[in-house]
């Protein structure tokens, strides 16, 4: 048998898994990130977790490689963190690939956490019969990845497809990226909470609890009037952004995942209608809006799947 080890480094937890060629998880482990303790302790956790995964395989030579997916903007060639914001403070500049390659005699791949989700979809999900698709991860923020002819769109160093930082309102609130009205400020978990809080501050909210995305979405399902108003803005904002992605990339599918998207089919149905109303019919006609395949395992499966994606196909990571 051949196996790949995957590590998904996020703001709250680090997930480890061993997967086989078909993408099945044969062993897994998870630890809290504790990002506030600094990059050194985090890197130590990553190495210890990889050790544990290595030990779970009978023959070490069956390991074909190690793949890492990390929050932040990742230089995929160097395997370093170009920029990590508040999610992973001080993580910027960490030479992830070098530290792992020094310790293990196997191939190492490092990429952004949403790019690796797109690789999981390419290998085992929507991408099995589709070469052009956009991935959106609606979590605390909004992450994006674009697969074009079976390859990730990279830009100069790998920072392309920051789809959460597309503005849908030039007069909107200031975003951390420097722009105004980025879609992330409306349709991410923190964006939904922000809209809910804004409504409460101007005295028009029907709820008295401190708003967070999960509770607002739940109240929306129960037809709470204020939550309905918030979610109308969320869906309009996201629908507008997705229409822009469809016009820009002409994809066969837009794959929507992450915690916000996992709130049930009603969210995707409402979004589908909004996107339909905002997209040229000749573009929309060949594009499906679909839920992501792997839920909370997407990151760790995709991290490991880099080993098969780059190691076995003609799709060298460095040719892209």
CB of 308 to Zn ion, least distance (A): 33
143: β partners: 137
Do the bridges between strand 133-138 and strand 142-148 make them parallel or antiparallel, or are there none, so unpaired? antiparallel
CB of 179 to Zn ion, least distance (A): 5
Residue among 179 and 229 whose Cβ is closer to Zn ion: 179
Site for Zn ion contains 177 (CB under 5 A): yes
- CA atoms within a 13 Å half-sphere pointing along the CA-CB vector of 205: 21
Q: In this chain, which of 25, 52, 101, 175 binds Zn ion, going by CB under 5 A?
A: 175
Site for Zn ion contains 194 (CB under 5 A): no
Site for Zn ion contains 286 (CB under 5 A): no
Site for Zn ion contains 173 (CB under 5 A): no
Site for Zn ion contains 86 (CB under 5 A): no
Cα 61–64–65 angle (5° rounding)? 120
CB of 172 to Zn ion, least distance (A): 10
Site for Zn ion contains 165 (CB under 5 A): yes
The first and second tokens of residue 308, run together, are 């098969």
Q: In this chain, which of 182, 237, 238, 260 binds Zn ion, going by CB under 5 A?
A: 182
Residue among 9 and 142 whose Cβ is closer to Zn ion: 142
Say which residues have a Cβ less than 8 Å from residue 318's Cβ, sequence separation at least 6: 77
Task: Scan residues 5-44 and list those touching Zn ion (CB under 5 A).
Answer: none
Do residues 299 and 15 touch, judged by C-beta distance below 8 A? yes
Cα separation of 87 and 85, whole Å? Answer: 6
Residue among 180 and 229 whose Cβ is closer to Zn ion: 180
Rounded to the nearest angstrom, the gap between the alpha carbon of residue 85 and the centroid of all alpha carbons in its chain is 15
Do residues 226 and 205 touch, judged by C-beta distance below 8 A? yes
Residues that bind Zn ion (CB under 5 A): 165, 175, 177, 179, 182
């Amino acid at each position: 048998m051949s196996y790949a080890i995957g590590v998904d480094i996020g703001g709250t937890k680090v997930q480890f898994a061993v997967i086989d060629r078909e993408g099945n998880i044969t062993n897994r482990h998870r630890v809290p990130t504790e990002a506030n303790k600094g990059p050194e302790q985090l890197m130590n956790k990553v190495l210890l977790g990889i050790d544990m995964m290595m030990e779970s395989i009978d023959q070490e030579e069956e390991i074909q490689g190690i793949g890492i997916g990390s929050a932040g903007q990742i230089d995929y060639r160097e395997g370093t963190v170009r920029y990590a914001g508040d999610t992973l403070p001080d993580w910027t500049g960490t030479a992830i690939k070098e530290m792992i390659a020094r310790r293990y005699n196997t191939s190492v791949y490092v990429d952004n956490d949403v790019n690796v989700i797109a690789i999981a979809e390419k290998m085992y999900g929507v991408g099995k019969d589709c070469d052009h698709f956009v991935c959106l991860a609606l979590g605390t923020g909004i992450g994006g990845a674009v697969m074009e002819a079976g390859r990730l769109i990279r830009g100069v160093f790998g920072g392309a497809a920051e789809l959460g930082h597309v503005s849908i309102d030039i007069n909107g609130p200031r975003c951390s990226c420097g722009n105004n009205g980025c879609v992330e400020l409306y349709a991410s978990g923190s964006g939904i909470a922000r809209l809910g809080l804004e409504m409460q501050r101007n005295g028009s909210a029907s709820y008295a609890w401190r708003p967070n995305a999960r509770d607002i979405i739940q109240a929306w399902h129960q037809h709470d009037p204020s939550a309905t108003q918030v979610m109308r803005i969320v869906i309009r904002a996201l629908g507008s952004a997705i229409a822009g992605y469809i016009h820009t990339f002409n994809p066969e599918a837009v794959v929507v995942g992450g915690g916000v998207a996992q709130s049930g089919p009603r969210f995707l149905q409402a979004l589908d209608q909004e996107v339909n109303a905002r997209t040229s019919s000749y573009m929309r006609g060949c594009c499906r809006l679909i839920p992501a395949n792997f839920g909370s395992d997407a990151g760790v499966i995709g991290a490991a799947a880099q080993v098969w994606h780059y190691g076995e196909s003609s799709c060298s990571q460095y040719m892209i």
